[in-house]
Amino acid sequence: MTKQTNTSITAMEAQRRELDRRIRAAKRAVQKAGEQALLSARHDLGVEVTTAAGADNLEAVERLRRALMSGQMIESMKEQIDTGSLDNSATGDASAEVAQVADGGGHHVA
């Protein structure tokens, strides 16, 4: 090989390393953006649920948390997520139950 060919190969390898570095950085940025979007969506959901349930103080939020984290509610939510059966009637019933628990009525999970 000639000196010019070796120089071209070296330059192309340097470009490849730079592109690889940029690709890895872009992939990390996409992953981080996805994680941030999920965190934001979870936060927004928490705000929406507590607002819909009328949990407007710390005590009510804690009661709501206990109610939502009960085994029966968790299984019901997982089932709805897995089947995609989030119709308005089921959501309305669950919203009413959650609001009742947040207000201190209904069943409590200690």
Does the residue 19 lie in any domain? yes
Q: Which residues of the chain have pLDDT under 50?
A: 89-91, 106-110
Report the 10 Å Cβ neighbour count for 103: 14
The pLDDT assigned to 106 comes to: 45
Domain extent for 68: 3-102
Q: Which two tokens stand for residue 69?
A: 């984290």
Q: Give the pTM.
A: 0.60
Whether residue 107 is contained in a domain is answered as: no
**Residue 30: both structure tokens together:** 């996409």
**For the chain, how many structural domains are there in total?**
1
Per cent of the chain over pLDDT 90 is: 64
Cα–Cα distance measured from residue 55 to residue 63, given in angstroms and rounded to the nearest whole number: 9
In a domain, 108, yes or no: no
